[in-house]
């Protein structure tokens, strides 16, 4: 019934080349106004889930080519369905890291919290809905290896949302990052996944590659005490 209602409501918009999607404050267009001014031609979307970021960024960068990466099978299929009519879009069903391998991912009961790292106790306490998990086998690939044979038109934006695996993504994307103009990366201020890098380490890694920290586009607060837990940090080549 819900799907039928969505179809009825969306059909007139679709005929006009528009779409209706669920509002997500994390991807508010206003927060991305500066990103829109960077003349981005290529977007690399690491940790795409079902395409929330890809759909948003396409509205402000309609001519950009998007390369999306999502390891979870069900979410990857939804991503392809959501973006099937989008020009300049390509999706890869794999995780991204510092080596090419096959591993088991910790699939969270809240899919967006799934990670190649075990979930930490603080995460379970703050967000109990994410605590349950099952194992799913996924491919992990180095970003440099996957994209080496593709034409990446400048300027390039890389978005990284990988639940604690950020340092591994960076380590496997040296060539790609060297070409990038900007990076939007989810950073944590407290350990939500076991062994993950915190903000200070990511800041040092990207600063060492010539990027300047420009602030946060979104910030997640703890429902327990209001402390900042995560943010989508923007880094731009200085």
- Taking only the tens place, the pLDDT of each residue in 179-195 is 999 999 999 999 999 99
pLDDT score at 12: 55
pLDDT score at 9: 38
pLDDT score at 22: 45
pLDDT score at 87: 73
Q: Which of 226, 200, 225 is CA-nearest to residue 213?
A: 200
Q: Which of 226, 109, 234 is CA-nearest to residue 184?
A: 234
pLDDT score at 238: 86
pLDDT score at 76: 96
Please give, one letter per residue, the 3-state secondary structure of 7-25: HHHHHHHHHCCCCCCCCCH
pLDDT score at 82: 87
Residues in the chain where the model's pLDDT stays below 70 = 1-29, 85-86
* Full set of structural domains in the chain with CATH: 22-237 (3.40.50.150)
pLDDT score at 162: 98
């Amino acid at each position: 019934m819900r799907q039928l209602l969505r179809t009825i409501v969306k059909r007139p918009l679709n005929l006009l080349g528009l779409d209706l999607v669920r509002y997500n404050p994390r991807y508010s267009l206003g927060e991305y106004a500066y990103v829109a001014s960077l003349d981005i031609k290529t977007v690399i979307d690491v940790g795409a889930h079902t395409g929330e970021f890809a759909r948003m960024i396409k509205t402000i960068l309609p001519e950009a080519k998007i390369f999306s990466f999502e390891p979870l099978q069900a979410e990857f299929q939804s991503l392809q369905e959501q973006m099937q009519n989008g020009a300049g879009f390509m999706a890869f069903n794999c995780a991204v890291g510092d080596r090419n391998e096959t591993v088991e991912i910790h699939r969270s009961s809240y899919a967006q919290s799934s990670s190649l790292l075990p979930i930490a106790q603080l995460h379970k306490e703050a967000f109990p809905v994410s605590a349950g998990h099952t194992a799913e086998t996924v491919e992990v690939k180095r970003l440099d290896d996957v994209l080496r044979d593709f034409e990446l038109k400048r300027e390039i934006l890389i978005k990284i949302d990988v639940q604690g695996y950020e340092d591994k993504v960076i380590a496997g994307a040296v060539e790609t990052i060297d070409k990038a103009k900007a990076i939007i990366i989810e950073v944590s201020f407290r350990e939500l996944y076991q062994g993950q890098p915190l903000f200070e380490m990511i800041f040092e890694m990207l600063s060492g590659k010539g990027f300047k920290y420009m602030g946060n586009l979104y910030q997640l607060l703890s429902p327990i005490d209001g402390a900042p837990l995560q943010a989508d940090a923007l880094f731009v080549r200085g």
